[in-house]
Structure 1
Amino acid sequence: MIEQRKLPAYAAGAIDVPFVIGFFQERVDVDTCWPSHSHPTHELLWNQRGASTVSVGPRMWTITPVLGVWLPAGALHEGRACAGSVCNMSHFGIDSVEPIALEPVPVVITPLLRLLLERLADPGLNPTSRAITEAAAMDNLEPAPGHLSIHMPQADLLQPIVSGMVDEPQPALGLQQWSDRLGVSGRTISRAFQAETGSGYSRWVASLHAQQAMEMVARGDDLQDIAQLLGFSSQSSLGAAFRRNTGFTLSTFRDSK
């Protein structure tokens, strides 16, 4: 069972905040979903432990201790977190900082950036030290390179494919198998993926598997088990596919837990 937490939808700047960068943390004890909401501040989502996801429209990102997501103020988004995750939320006053992007973007949480953001959680930090730390955090905050999100198709034709693979990580069926199940040609399925996501079926599956592998590694699952679950012949083939799709190695996420 997933616990739902409803939050309000605020326009950018709708509420004045008494901080330049505020730090908030929550341990999630049960699988939790936050339906569509937005904040009056810019937000950086990043985890202390475990994995979560955030969706803006049809695009979804996986959040781990290594990879966060920047959300501009007022951006409607939905969130999910697995039980046992420790989720961090850094909020940025829109009148105090320049946004690093005007759309959602992934951010690499480097060890230095982590230390700076965590230091801002100290209520005893004196004003001078806080201002220096905030400036240093902004200097080290920038969008990550590479393709690190996945576009979830909305077409009715593709829902049996999308819902099955997203709800339960598994090896991908071939286009011919889906063609037989759905009663349409493989070319029709591929064109539907291309029209909605900008990539064909195989590329979409590769991106989905990369997101799922990232989430499973972040929560501590064994790499060989992940490879088998997703239909890869070996741990090394999973790692090679992951690097091709994200630019990262899986060990980056494994070593961060």
Structure 2
Amino acid sequence: MELMRDITDAPKEGRSTDPARNLVVAAEVQLSIAHVFIAELNHKAPEKFKFRRDKVFWVDLCLTPRRPNSSARFVDHWSPARTIEMGSLIAIPPRMRTELNSAGGRHASLICQMQASAVEKWLPEDFTWTERRLEASLNIASDTIRPLMLRFNHELRNPGPGSLELCESLASILAIELARYFAAASSTDEKGGLASWRMRLIDDRIADRSQPFPSVGELAKLCRLSSRQLGRAFKASRGSSISDFLTQTRIEAAKRKLYSDTCIADISSILGFSSQSSFTAAFRRSTGTTPDQFRKRIRAGSPSR
């Protein structure tokens, strides 16, 4: 696998050559069905730009906290007033004109440009990009997709014997899991998904930073459903369990708080973990590192490693 210092040589589809963004590739690997690389970017200021890739799914795992107000909208499907805040893991579908809003600043992402055909061959014949599937693409809380991306990050950072072959296998599995994820996100309420008004209630409550982080029980009560009904309907709508979604949302909130001087025990309590040890275990499962190690890397200037 090849290490690169700058992205400006031999650009591939989806690789910006705009020096104003200071985009640097830390490591990359070219596979038979995917191009995977670690991108380190520094947006000088907030900006808005158009994005479209015709031949690939653009899978982006933000290795540093996604900046607040980083959002996206699908230009041909949503009005200019409608945007969705992006989660740490997104997968922009091929042929979708997307408007991306960056809050500016430095961040690092693991990017997998997956050949569209490698994913689409696993989708149902009647598959269409519904409203819910588009929403689900901008915040993927999957206990199968995220670990695959994290393993890519590990192999690119620490290549060893068989790394190329392992990455080829990871890419094949990722293509299948992406197809399963999007197929599982149902298109209508009749298929058992959450009504749009209930999904908006959940999103708004989670985004409310003035209150403690909600539990599944609180969200179920808000939606006037049992916890079991909410769990089934949420998975039908978003393609992931609500517990996975809440855990990952809490981890992203924790990353942002680790930039502050708030002690780790307080962060654990604020985000509703039962104990600091359970917070540490959940954080390690999601990021591959502990909260303390993550904070030390932030202060050392290398949070993405």
TM-score (normalizing by structure 1): 0.50
2:43 to 17, 23, 28: 28
* Contact 1:34 1:79 (C-alpha < 8 Å) held by counterparts: yes
Provide the secondary structure at the position in 2 that maps to 1:85: strand
**Equivalent residue runs for 1:1-257 within 5 Å:** 19-20=11-12, 22=15, 24=17, 25=23, 26-29=41-44, 37-39=51-53, 51-52=66-67, 61-62=87-88, 74=95, 77=98, 79=100, 81-86=102-107, 102=119, 107-108=149-150, 110=153, 113=156, 143=170, 155-166=196-207, 168=209, 170-175=212-217, 177-214=218-255, 216-217=257-258, 219=259, 222=262, 223-244=264-285, 246=286, 248-251=288-291, 253-254=294-295, 255=297, 256-257=302-303
Q: In the superposition, relative to structure 1, how do residues 187 and 224 fare at CA in structure 2: closer, same or farther (>3 Å)? A: same
Report how far residue 71 of structure 1 moved.
6.0
1:3 matched residue in structure 2: none
Distance 1:214 1:100 in 2: 34
Distance 2:195 2:72 in 1: 13
Provide the secondary structure at the position in 1 that maps to 2:88: strand
* Contact 1:54 1:62 (C-alpha < 8 Å) held by counterparts: no
Q: In the superposition, relative to structure 1, how do residues 207 and 33 fare at CA in structure 2: closer, same or farther (>3 Å)? A: farther
Structure 2, unaligned stretches of length 5 or more?
Answer: 1-8, 18-22, 24-40, 75-83, 121-136, 138-144, 186-193
Q: Percent of aligned positions with the same letter in both sequences?
A: 21
Report how far residue 191 of structure 1 moved.
3.3
Report how far residue 155 of structure 1 moved.
2.8
Report how far residue 158 of structure 1 moved.
2.8
* Contact 1:55 1:61 (C-alpha < 8 Å) held by counterparts: no
Distance 1:206 1:194 in 2: 14
Report how far residue 160 of structure 1 moved.
1.0
Provide the secondary structure at the position in 1 that maps to 2:105: coil
Report how far residue 205 of structure 1 moved.
1.8
Letter in 1 for 2:53: H
CA shift digits 1:201-244 (9 cap, x unpaired):
43432232234334554x56654443233122443221112344
CA shift digits 1:170-210 (9 cap, x unpaired):
422452x4455444444443332132235554343223223
Report how far residue 253 of structure 1 moved.
4.1
2:129 matched residue in structure 1: none
* Contact 1:51 1:82 (C-alpha < 8 Å) held by counterparts: no
* The structure with more strand, counted as a fraction of residues: 1
Provide the secondary structure at the position in 2 that maps to 1:161: helix
Larger deviation: 157-166 or 196-205? 196-205
CA RMSD of aligned residues (A): 5.4
Distance 2:239 2:111 in 1: 32
Structure 1, unaligned stretches of length 5 or more?
Answer: 1-16, 64-68, 116-136
* Contact 2:268 2:275 (C-alpha < 8 Å) held by counterparts: yes
* Contact 2:63 2:108 (C-alpha < 8 Å) held by counterparts: yes
Q: In the superposition, relative to structure 1, how do residues 82 and 225 fare at CA in structure 2: closer, same or farther (>3 Å)? A: farther
Distance 1:91 1:185 in 2: 38
Letter in 2 for 1:229: I
Q: In the superposition, relative to structure 1, how do residues 215 and 40 fare at CA in structure 2: closer, same or farther (>3 Å)? A: farther
Letter in 2 for 1:171: F
Count of residue pairs the alignment pairs up: 208
Distance 2:284 2:63 in 1: 23
Report how far residue 164 of structure 1 moved.
1.9
Q: In the superposition, relative to structure 1, how do residues 76 and 243 fare at CA in structure 2: closer, same or farther (>3 Å)? A: farther
Distance 1:242 1:183 in 2: 31
